[in-house]
Structure 1
Amino acid sequence: MVRRRADGAGRRRRDEAELTAAVARIWRDLLGAGADVTDDDDFFELGGDSLLATWAAARIQDELGIDVTLDDLFQQTRLGALVAHLRLLPRRPRSAEAPVAAEGGALTAAERAVWLAAELAPQATAYLISVVVRVRGDLAADLLEDALGDVITRHEALRTAFLLVGTEPERRAEASVRVPVARVAEAGPPGADRLRELAAEDAERPVELDRAPLFRARLVTDGDRATALLLTVHHAVFDARSLELLVRELGECCAARAEGGVADLTPVPGPGAFGARQHAWLAGPEGRRAVAELAGSLTGLPAPGPFPRTEPSGTGDGAGDGIGDGGGGGGRDGVGAQRRETIDGGLAHAVRRLALRHGATLHMVGLAAFAVALADRTGTDDLAVGAAFSGRTTPEAQNAIGCFVNVLPIRVRTSGPEPFTDVLARVRDATLFVARHQDVPFEQVRAWFRQEGAAPPEIRVAFGAQDVARPAYRGEGFELTGREADTEQARLDLTCWLEAAGEDSLQAFWTYRPGLLTSSDVAALHGRFVEVLRTGAGTEPADS
């Protein structure tokens, strides 16, 4: 009897150790943490956010067969506490089902949202993304161009077009595509201003959605050396995560070719496979229930929104991602204006500490301050604020270039003078609720309202927070760094993106429609936003 109890205790210790090692490995993969992740380490103190928590939950579900939720990761933030909690959760067998190969057929929700917005203004360029990949070191231009071809071969989205069949669009992924790469000869590495000029020049022309590939490429050279790769990509096949994957895989393919080989070109399941699963889920009881729950949370929203307008804003079904864009009507031409404001380092640090103290993220703190500032400016205390969710809720989707992002409204209520922590608590709960429903397309929510005979909600303003550390690849003798060029396109009435570049660095990037707001309006709004953050974090204004 004693031996049996001892054997059982030993097995439990081994099981716990194996589970701890598996979860720690997932954390390291996602966070880039050091080799030693201990029981006392906190996911968010190591650099985690709601996006990475979503990916961690998906990895734990897929690799360990444990039905963990996003809420579990926010409630059990330390490794030891999470592992203890995971041991109490139900397990299920790992699915042996292979991802569905779907290179044709119906669009994913994210692709359809961008397609609809583009259809409203086919000559507009608001949904073009300008990507700049800088090259440092010695890298042959021919080799980089060949590496780009390797990446295109691997990713279905870079070979995809969207054709109208009858009254509905269909996706078509070509087996191969010809990508002309125009070359621009420069004497020496081009400066930032020159690259911005080239990117803006290339983004002036629309990209037709019915002919693959949905991007243009230019290679800046100094003799036979590559100094920069410029891509103008339609948002229908590209998002923030796609930029990270592009830079990494370009680097890997360059390194392999430099050694006389070819990198792994095994195709990854792309948006088509994800879309097939998404359509099946939405048609089932779980998907229908999720749509009804999310739509129900938005009933009774004041109309039409915080800023009065005299003409419709479009469908409200647009899409965006974490690289400075939102969702909603694109207007006639998308032309907007922007402001970039730096937040002092002391406040930036205090805001991060405030988030950690309240089990929140930088996005949640910023969204709470944005809602308070907007309520003060407009008198609207019940807002639907768009937030971009990655939409990559399966492990395979995390490694596919394409458009997966889903912009959904988070309902935020404020009630006059009240402690900032009260607003933050409501924003945290509302954000986690929507995050649990991030597989629900906003188009489905709007359809639910129409079926109920009610006016569907719109996304007119959006807020986001992101780490702007540039995707990079360091190879033998060369380095690639990628970024998206700033745009003056305005897809919404107002957006604010809080950009973090280190513990003590924050910038607020505002885009807005000049017909609704002036530069001084946005400056005043930013001032109030900072004031709310300072009050919430309990800091004094920095010396000027």
Structure 2
Amino acid sequence: MKTPGVRRRAGGAERRRHEEAELTAAVAGIWRDLLGAEATDDDDFFELGGDSLLATWTAARIQDELGIDVTLDDLFQQTRLGALVAHLRLLPRRARSTDAATQSADGALTAAERAVWLAAELAPQATAYLISVVVRVRGDLAADLLEDALGDVIARHEALRTAFVLAGAEPERRVAASVRVPVTRVTEAAPPGQKRLRELAAEDAGHAVDLGQAPLFRARLVTDRDRAAALLLTVHHAVFDARSLELLVRELGECCAARAEGGVADLTPVPGPGVFGARQHAWLAGPEGRRAVAELAGSLTGLPDGVPFPRSVPSGAGEGLGAQRREPVDEGLARAVRRLALRHGATLHMVGLAAFAVALAGWTGTDDLAVGAAFSGRTTPESQNAIGCFVNVLPIRVRTNGPEPFADVLARVRDATLFVARHQDVPFESVRAWFRQEGGTAPEIRVAFGAQDVARPAYRGEGFELTGREADTEQARLDLTCWLEAAGEDSLQAFWTHRPGLLASSDVAALHQRFVDALRDATGAEPTDS
């Protein structure tokens, strides 16, 4: 006969198994929502398509929904579902936050909004911070219905009803209860092709947007008779970012589908940037925020000034808004780069940034660089569902030591990227203010690198499909940027933008070759003819 003690131990083991199963199901559900894939204990987050951005969102949801204080580092160290769940069971738990989003939508700007606003104030007629969005329509969708659906999305998202006005010497956010959005109709004799849509988008993007008057976007509805062919938006970056495009396409589709059935989509308002901004200001004023600013700023002390590009363009020659070039990376190398990333517990961005640093160091002779990286800034679950500008561009300090194994550079880049990612709620302006307070020289971000999946946001409804994309621009916000764009497992291309008065196209072509050579040396991949 079993003793009571044995029964209690057996009951405790059964309870632990039940709790672990519940935790596994909850984490797997979060992975499914963000990765679009079912996961078992042996599945790897990054092999399923995860990256730094999705890891940030995963951490935020685990913290919010499960009350477990997980960090981004935890997710990079425990990449398999089973190992992560076992680790989570050892971490401290806290009560779920009951902080209601009741703050006023009006008020001080978020750090991201303020950074864009300041740039716009310096050049009010400039268009570098305008984003051209093309939402292509395929199938049968009435133009009036799509226009009404746009109104539904505007009603849900505060950012699309926001203006920024001066109150004394400081800008404030003003959110209108409703806005009238004149939608210009462009009727085509036949369904427009990509070239025609690019022409229309470029035409509209050439005119500045007044930040003091909501809405901070313009809309064109391209029609083929009375059917919608495309929706073109010219929207200011102060109220829009890459995640906003995904939300816009999805919710436009949902609203179109609901209206086609005679109803209205259930899209309740979500907390906008104003709520996030109020929390951000409170955090920065507290001890945790001040400590985070000091840590990030401290990591940047002693940086050399700027990047000494070899001067091949005469001073003042070729000045313009910017220039761009796209350079493909062959399929064999693209696959090898992804394998290298998985082997080293890194992301595509980390591998690309390491190669970018090696290429820049070899070209400029500078072995200590600050390379800008765009972090989503959406570190709370509610911010993940709000249209607006949350992105935070921060410098990642990358050191190279002459001829050395690429793995060593990648390890330092990985550590530096995770360090900055842990501090991505720190505004760059706060870092600059820290340097001014300490009597030092604040760092500048003149070059930037990024990696992104160019899979286009899409919505498939009954009889119609929407696909969204951001139109290319030749505007150069920095001296030099490189975006490594991925489309599938074996497709990569580098999208370079630069200031033509500083760098010639031949300079960028040479730098791209150095970049590819660094990747090839790192992976051992041979050139192919594809």
* TM-score of the aligned structures, taking structure 1 as reference length: 0.95
How many angstroms apart in 1 are the aligned matches of 2:358 and 2:496? Answer: 16
Q: Is residue 23 from structure 1 mapped to residue 9 from structure 2 by the alignment?
A: no
Corresponding residue for residue 337 of structure 2: 351
The residue correspondences of 1:396-435 to structure 2 (distance < 5 A) are 396-435=382-421
Q: Is residue 543 from structure 1 mapped to residue 529 from structure 2 by the alignment?
A: yes
How many angstroms apart in 1 are the aligned matches of 2:110 and 2:259? Answer: 34
Corresponding residue for residue 161 of structure 1: 163
Deviation at 1:189, TM superposition (A): 1.4
RMSD (Å) for aligned C-alpha atoms: 1.1
User: SS state of the match for residue 510, structure 1?
Assistant: strand
Deviation at 1:86, TM superposition (A): 0.1
Describe the superposition over 1:38-69 as per-residue Cα deviations: whole angstroms up to 9, x where unpaired. Answer: 00000000000000000000000000000000
Amino acid at match of 1:60: I
Does the 8 Å CA contact 2:307/2:364 hold for their aligned counterparts?
A: no
Does the 8 Å CA contact 2:186/2:220 hold for their aligned counterparts?
A: yes
Deviation at 1:201, TM superposition (A): 0.2
Q: Is residue 530 from structure 1 mapped to residue 516 from structure 2 by the alignment?
A: yes
Equivalent of 1:94, from 93, 96, 101? 96
Corresponding residue for residue 17 of structure 2: 13
The residue correspondences of 1:278-357 to structure 2 (distance < 5 A) are 278-307=280-309, 335-357=321-343
Q: Is residue 133 from structure 1 mapped to residue 135 from structure 2 by the alignment?
A: yes
User: SS state of the match for residue 105, structure 1?
Assistant: coil
The residue correspondences of 1:113-262 to structure 2 (distance < 5 A) are 113-262=115-264
How many angstroms apart in 2 are the aligned matches of 1:88 and 1:521? Answer: 52
User: SS state of the match for residue 135, structure 1?
Assistant: strand
How many angstroms apart in 2 are the aligned matches of 1:92 and 1:40? Answer: 28
Amino acid at match of 1:451: Q
Corresponding residue for residue 316 of structure 2: none
Does the 8 Å CA contact 1:126/1:334 hold for their aligned counterparts?
A: no
Does the 8 Å CA contact 2:310/2:364 hold for their aligned counterparts?
A: no
Unaligned regions of 5+ residues in structure 2, if any?
A: 312-318
Does the 8 Å CA contact 1:334/1:491 hold for their aligned counterparts?
A: no
Corresponding residue for residue 325 of structure 1: none
Corresponding residue for residue 471 of structure 2: 485
User: SS state of the match for residue 327, structure 2?
Assistant: strand
Q: Is residue 456 from structure 1 mapped to residue 442 from structure 2 by the alignment?
A: yes
Does the 8 Å CA contact 2:326/2:496 hold for their aligned counterparts?
A: yes
How many angstroms apart in 1 are the aligned matches of 2:132 and 2:501? Answer: 25
How many angstroms apart in 1 are the aligned matches of 2:525 and 2:135? Answer: 38
How many angstroms apart in 2 are the aligned matches of 1:79 and 1:391? Answer: 25
User: SS state of the match for residue 449, structure 2?
Assistant: strand
User: SS state of the match for residue 67, structure 1?
Assistant: coil
Does the 8 Å CA contact 2:188/2:224 hold for their aligned counterparts?
A: yes
Q: Is residue 367 from structure 1 mapped to residue 353 from structure 2 by the alignment?
A: yes
Q: Percent same amino acid at aligned positions? A: 87
Corresponding residue for residue 74 of structure 1: 76
Describe the superposition over 1:336-377 as per-residue Cα deviations: whole angstroms up to 9, x where unpaired. Answer: 101101100110000000000000000000000000000011
Unaligned regions of 5+ residues in structure 1, if any?
A: 310-332
How many angstroms apart in 2 are the aligned matches of 1:334 and 1:177? Answer: 35
Describe the superposition over 1:506-538 as per-residue Cα deviations: whole angstroms up to 9, x where unpaired. Answer: 010000011111111100000010010011011
User: SS state of the match for residue 162, structure 1?
Assistant: strand
User: SS state of the match for residue 530, structure 1?
Assistant: helix
Does the 8 Å CA contact 1:295/1:449 hold for their aligned counterparts?
A: yes
Does the 8 Å CA contact 1:101/1:269 hold for their aligned counterparts?
A: no
> Which contiguous aligned blocks of 4+ residues in structure 1 show a shift greater than 3 angstroms?
306-309
User: SS state of the match for residue 445, structure 1?
Assistant: helix
Equivalent of 2:454, from 456, 460, 468? 468
User: SS state of the match for residue 196, structure 2?
Assistant: helix
Distance 1:294 1:334, change over 3 A: farther
How many angstroms apart in 2 are the aligned matches of 1:150 and 1:519? Answer: 44
Deviation at 1:188, TM superposition (A): 2.1
How many angstroms apart in 2 are the aligned matches of 1:4 and 1:83? Answer: 25
Amino acid at match of 1:22: A
How many angstroms apart in 2 are the aligned matches of 1:539 and 1:71? Answer: 30
User: SS state of the match for residue 483, structure 1?
Assistant: strand
Does the 8 Å CA contact 1:335/1:488 hold for their aligned counterparts?
A: yes
Q: How many residues get paired? A: 520
The residue correspondences of 1:434-453 to structure 2 (distance < 5 A) are 434-453=420-439
Corresponding residue for residue 517 of structure 1: 503
Amino acid at match of 1:491: R
How many angstroms apart in 2 are the aligned matches of 1:396 and 1:218? Answer: 30
The residue correspondences of 1:358-397 to structure 2 (distance < 5 A) are 358-397=344-383
Deviation at 1:504, TM superposition (A): 0.1
How many angstroms apart in 2 are the aligned matches of 1:152 and 1:210? Answer: 18
Corresponding residue for residue 316 of structure 1: none
How many angstroms apart in 1 are the aligned matches of 2:528 and 2:509? Answer: 18
Does the 8 Å CA contact 1:189/1:227 hold for their aligned counterparts?
A: yes
How many angstroms apart in 1 are the aligned matches of 2:83 and 2:11? Answer: 24
Amino acid at match of 1:9: A
User: SS state of the match for residue 236, structure 1?
Assistant: helix
Describe the superposition over 1:376-401 as per-residue Cα deviations: whole angstroms up to 9, x where unpaired. Answer: 11011100000000000000000000
